[in-house]
Amino acid sequence: MLRIVMAFFSTMGIRIAVCISLLVIVCSTSVYGQLCPDFYDKSCPNVLSIVNSVVMQAVAKEKRMGASLLRLHFHDCFVNGCDGSILLDDTSTFTGEKTANPNNNSVRGFDVIDTIKTQVEATCSGVVSCADIVAIAARDSVVQLGGPTWTVMLGRRDSTSASKSAANNNIPPPTSNLSALISFFQAQGLTTEDMVALSGSHTIGQARCTNFRNRIYNESNIALLFAGLRKANCPVTGGDNNLAPLDLFTPTAFDNSYYNNLQFQNGLLHSDQQLFKGGSTDNRVSFYAVHPDAFFNDFAAAMVKMGNIKPLTVNNGEIRKNCRKIN
């Protein structure tokens, strides 16, 4: 009898182990690669609430921070994948991505990520990656500003390197025309439809005068009243860092106003207005302008897709203790 009981529990142990293994396999072979939404459910169950709390406080203090945290995720993922490389500081022997042209004196929110990381480390040290924190913070920022939510896939690890040259070459500049924008996004495995939806992130945030000066003074496909309004704070020379909202009417609300702006030639950046200029993306812009729910759904889906760009998982990369430096 004892042997039968022992054999039974032995068999049950094997079955339990197999079930656990299958759960891991399900996570690692999902349509989102090796990422899954419940990655930290056991190892750090409070991580989502910690991130959300810090983001809520940061956005309440400065609504622009919501756009900055969202942009931080974009600029991370477009450079060798969503691996937290954008967070690394330069040292005497290491050059990171912060001083690349698209990021220098422009990308913000590093202090918010630091605050989140400190609180997460105090709860579950060495468990949650900086790359995942950036991804969660981007989602929570959009929600705080009235936008859609989505399930953030988790399990990324942090890179031990960065690439200033890739940041300079892979992130679409504000001078991009439509064909260039399509190519930039296709290089990351994102479709033209994804690109139009993700461009809607410019319904929040601000841009520096240096990035839209040429448009307001030299381009013809811009509303005269809009150009005049922006010239008041962006002179022909000087004032490079003067800011203007990317969305003319609701600059701190995540909505579909961005697409309405484009229809009336009120796009702030050259690259924005390229989406509605008699080209292949005009119809989708018009569709999102009158169907905000469709924009929200497509934006959320595209964010999940973007968040899965070449993540480091399993034994690749590391879990940084300090997001600004390699362990």
The alpha carbon of residue 291 and the mean position of all alpha carbons in its chain are separated, in whole angstroms, by 23
75 catalytic per annotation: yes
Q: What is the pLDDT of residue 9?
A: 38
The alpha carbon of residue 183 and the mean position of all alpha carbons in its chain are separated, in whole angstroms, by 19
Residue 129 and residue 232 in one domain = no
Q: 233-269, pLDDT tens digit by residue? A: 999 999 999 999 999 999 999 999 999 999 999 999 9
Q: Work out how many domains the chain is built from and give that number.
A: 2
Q: Are 308 and 153 in contact (CB under 8 A)?
A: yes
Mean pLDDT of 77-90: 98
Residue 142 and residue 212 in one domain = no
CATH of the domain at 69: 1.10.520.10
Task: Specify binding-site residues for substrate.
Answer: 172
Catalytic residue among 73, 75, 270, 291: 75
Task: Specify binding-site residues for heme b.
Answer: 202
Is the pLDDT at 25 greater than 50? The verdict is no
DSSP string computed for 6-30: HHHHHHHHHHHHHHHHHHHHHHHTB
Mean pLDDT of 199-226: 98
Nearest to 206 by CA among 168, 234, 178: 234
Residue 58 and residue 87 in one domain = yes
Residue 112 and residue 220 in one domain = no
Is the pLDDT at 12 greater than 50? The verdict is no
Please state the pTM of the whole predicted model. Answer: 0.90
* Domain interval for residue 142: 46-170
Q: For 291, which DSSP code?
A: -
